[in-house]
Amino acid sequence: ACDLHPHFFTTKLAHEFSDEFECDVIGVQHHHAHSIALANDYGIDEMIVIACDGVGYGSDAASWGGEILYTNITDFERLGHLQAHKMPGGDMATKHPIRMLLSIIDDEDLISKYVDYFKYGDTEIKNIYRQLEAGINVGLTTSTGRVLDSVSAALEICNTRTYEGECSMKLESVAYYSKNDIEIPFEIKDNILNTREILREVVRLYQKGENKSDIANAAQKTIAKGLSQIAIENADKKGVNVIGATGGVFYNEAITDTCKKYIEENGYNFIQHKNTCAGDGSVSLGQAIVAKTKLN
C-alpha cells in the first residue's frame, strides 16, 4: 500500500517491493487514508469527512487539502472543497505565503499595500501576475494550509516559512488572544467555499485598523464554519449521521472546536482522532486498512 503521488520515495519503494515479491501495489489517496485511520478509531465504515492539511495528492493530480469527502473502507467520493487557486512558483508559494495571498485575493489595489514584502517590489508583483496569466509553474491547490498561511501573511504575522506549519501556527497563536467577535461572511456555490472573498475581507478589515487577533480568530472560524456547512449539507443528502475531522489543520484547537460546535448544533455526530493522530502519522495505517480490505 502506498500514496498516489508518483514521486514519493515510498511510492517508488512500493513498486520495487512489488517487483521483488511479485505482489500488487495498491495506491490509496492521501485524504482517504487519513479518513480510514479516523474511522478505525471508532470501528465505523462510512462517514462524511472534513480533511484539511497542507497538501495531499488528489485523484485528479492536483494538490488537495481542504476537502469534504464521503468515505468507506474501500472507496471515497469528493463532494466539496475549498476554492482552487494557483500557486505562483509552486513550492515558492509555500515558503513565501505573500505570493499565495496575491494569487488568492487577485486584487492589485489590495496587494499593493504589501509591496515591501516582495523582494523586488512592484516589479516582482507584476511578474507574478504575468506568471499567473501565462499559467507557468502555477499548479492548482485547494489546501487549507495555504489559505491559513495567506491569512497569516495578510495580517503581517508570518511572511516567510522556515519550518512546516510555521505561518499557520503563528496565526493560531495570535488568534488565541482575540477578545472581540468579528463576523466574516462566507459564500458556498456548488459545494465550493469561496476563499477569495474571505481573504479579501481579511485584508479590508486589517487595512481599516481592526484588531489583528480578532481578524485572525474570525478568519479561522469562518473557514471552519464554511467547511462544516458543506459537510452538513452532504451528510443530509447521503443519509449519514457522522461527520469526522482529519488532517494536520485539526491540530488547531479553534478550528476543531468551531467545527465540532457547528456540526453538533445541527444534529450530527462529530468525531476526531482519539487513538491515532490527525496528522500524517496515521496515513500508513489508513493505507494498510484500505489495502487489506480490497485484497480480501
Domain-wise residue ranges, the chain: 2-81+224-295, 85-223
d(CA 220, CA 217): 5
Task: Supply the pTM of this predicted model.
Answer: 0.95
pLDDT > 70 in the chain, percent? 100
Q: Cell numbers at residue 122, please?
A: 512592484
For 129-154, what is each residue's pLDDT tens digit? 999 999 999 999 999 999 999 999 99
CA distances from 216 to 173, 192, 249, 282 (A): 9, 22, 15, 29
Strands of 72-216 (E only): list them.
76-82, 85-86, 140-141, 188-189, 192-193
Written as nine digits, the cell of 230 is 458543506
Write the pLDDT tens digit of every residue in 112-133. 999 999 999 999 999 999 999 9
Give percent of the chain with pLDDT exceeding 90: 99
Please give the pLDDT value at position 248: 98
Q: Please give the mean pLDDT across all residues of the chain.
A: 97
Cβ-contact 67, 31 below 8 angstroms: yes
Say how far apart CA 84 and CA 88 lie, in whole Å. Answer: 13
How far, in whole angstroms, is CA 21 from its chain's centroid? 36
Contact 236, 198 (CB under 8 A): no
Report the run of H or E that residue 246 belongs to, with start and end: strand 242-246
pLDDT digits (tens, 9 = 90+) for 225-263: 999 999 999 999 999 999 999 999 999 999 999 999 999
Element holding 48 (H helix, E strand)? strand 47-57
Of 227, 272, 281, nearest to 47 by C-alpha is 272
Nine-digit cell string for 59: 485523484
How far is it, in rounded angstroms, from Cα 285 to Cα 287? Answer: 5
According to the model, what pLDDT value does residue 219 have?
99
Inform me whether the pLDDT recorded for 290 exceeds 90: yes
The model's confidence at residue 296, banded by pLDDT at 50, 70 and 90, is confident
Alpha carbons 202 and 150: distance in angstroms, whole number: 10
**Within 13 Å, how many C-alpha atoms sit on residue 137's CB side?**
11
Q: Tell me the average pLDDT across 48-72.
A: 97
Architecture of domain 2-81+224-295: 2-Layer Sandwich (3.30)
Q: What is the arithmetic mean of pLDDT over 80-96?
A: 97
In the prediction, which pLDDT does 151 show?
99
Beta strands in 109-153 (DSSP E): 140-141
Per-residue cell: 167: 505561518
* Contact present, 145 and 279 (Cβ < 8 Å): no
As given in the structure block, the three cell numbers for residue 88 are: 505562483
* Domain 85-223 bears CATH identifier 1.10.10.10: no
